Chains A and B, each alone.
Chain A
């Protein structure tokens, strides 16, 4: 009966409504440093085999094609797009961007967990350690880098070596090395907000190494990585999603009207 169409239209509205949420979040974060866009992947649901292909008719002849009705759509998953965002120069010496694959590892002191981020907006805390800037909590970079009090200039090389110059001394001193981590399946990382990602069973374990080695990207000092959201793509997605939602609404209406006709069939 057209109740199938009613529910099928319903699954469509639900799925495209969900996609609207995903696109809205992408657009809202079009200016968020280190943000990686996500995308919904859709899948058709189960098929009801009304008459399987090959069923025999009254004359014993196998029908070449069957009758099957699909029962709608679902969101199969949201997949992160980890493509490189544009690098913008900021001139701030603690702004770091990764050109290529990899994440900075930060230590969440409140929980003792390690998180991964591509948002390289670092600053010094009261102890001189490099921490990921956040108004709520400072998460130190791991392995920890501490900038001496008397440092006048900090230089961070592409392969992560942090050198400082102290007043009255012309030779740079190495105070630490920044390491990067990469994952076999970054799309499997858990998003926990604040542009942080967490290792999960799907991502694989972090492979840590010196920047530039083992497939890892290089560090660029004085740069930040822009969000990889492309407004044009998102707007096209937005239009498509909204129209698909409307179309499915039409299906629900058509099924509803058909049902109404049936209920009005018998009048007393």
Chain B
């Protein structure tokens, strides 16, 4: 068996997945609140050609028959570092500074999703929604937020308190945005549409998390890093495919030499 052929094919497949991850990062270079993902590679367990796996590495035979196991994509991790804050001037554009997330949910549903995309808007009843997904933005008590009809000049304080001016009345607080920090940031799952779920649960965000009205958090993708990753993935793929080719050629030469005898 030509073990190297399969090792090279594994390498090519892993690099192709890396290219897919980079492609998604680059496609979302302009998506507000987007966090880039990173493919992590891992060497497979060494393969015992004589007896096969499974054997713990220390019990495997040494020598020429022992092949290294090739490579696989072990995980994709999300780079949750702060993205640049982009000034938009929008009254209902809110960015999170620090390791916190907004809580959004389907109308009437208990399940809350996490998001960093603070491009909010109102529905005809005055409820605060996330533009695009149409999900309700939740307050600290887990309830939807409604901006009264006669309110004007909505302001969002750094701690998430939403207040507005009312005719013939002083400015009053309406609600406070719910800000959450996931217990296990590395374990966050992407759902698309800028939403995440935290399988390990969440806790209310601490004082290190604040919000900024009139800003949006731009995508965390830096074109230079992604372009380098793209070149790396593509060339890594190419190198592996070349290895397949070389082995195929040597096999071909061997076969033709044997036939000539």
Question: Residues of A at under 8 Å CB distance from B?
Answer: 1-2, 4-6, 8-9, 11-12, 15-16, 19, 39, 41-47, 49-54, 58, 63-73, 76-77, 79, 81, 83, 101, 184-185, 187-188, 201-205, 207, 213-215, 240-241, 243-244, 247-248, 250-251, 254-255, 257-258, 261-262, 265-266
14 further A-B pairs in the complex, CB-CB below 8 A; given A70-B28, A251-B27: A5-B23, A43-B31, A54-B199, A66-B76, A67-B39, A188-B123, A188-B124, A201-B124, A215-B151, A241-B30, A244-B30, A257-B234, A261-B238, A261-B241
- Evaluate whether A42 and B31 lie within 8 angstroms (CB atoms) in the complex, with A47-B192, A101-B152 already known: yes
B75 at the interface (CB under 8 A from A): yes
Q: Which residue of B lies closest to A52 (CB)?
A: B189
B58 at the interface (CB under 8 A from A): no
Q: Which residue of A lies closest to B36 (CB)?
A: A70
- Tally chain B residues at the interface, Cβ within 8 Å: 71
Contacts of A41 in B (CB 8 A): 32, 117, 119, 131-132
Of B101-109, B169-177, B223-231, the stretch lying at the interface with chain A is: B223-231
How far is it, in angstroms, between the C-alpha of A2 and the C-alpha of B124 when the chains are bound?
44
Contacts of A240 in B (CB 8 A): 30
Contacts of A81 in B (CB 8 A): 88-90
Q: Which of B22, B32, B149 contacts A5 (CB 8 A)?
A: B22
Q: Which of A241, A243, A255 contacts B23 (CB 8 A)?
A: A255
Q: Can you give 16 contacting A-B residue pairs, CB < 8 Å?
A: A2-B19, A5-B22, A12-B28, A16-B30, A41-B32, A65-B76, A65-B186, A72-B28, A73-B31, A76-B131, A79-B90, A81-B90, A101-B152, A215-B151, A247-B226, A262-B241
How far is it, in angstroms, between the C-alpha of A45 and the C-alpha of B24 when the chains are bound?
9
- Evaluate whether A4 and B23 lie within 8 angstroms (CB atoms) in the complex, with A47-B190, A50-B73, A185-B124 already known: yes
B209 at the interface (CB under 8 A from A): no
How far is it, in angstroms, between the C-alpha of A147 and the C-alpha of B215 when the chains are bound?
46
A43 touches B132 (CB 8 A): yes
- Evaluate whether A42 and B75 lie within 8 angstroms (CB atoms) in the complex, with A2-B237, A201-B124, A243-B223 already known: no
Q: Which of A1, A68, A243, A255 contacts B76 (CB 8 A)?
A: A68
B124 touches A205 (CB 8 A): yes
- Evaluate whether A5 and B131 lie within 8 angstroms (CB atoms) in the complex, with A47-B191, A64-B186 already known: no
A43 touches B117 (CB 8 A): yes
A76 touches B226 (CB 8 A): no
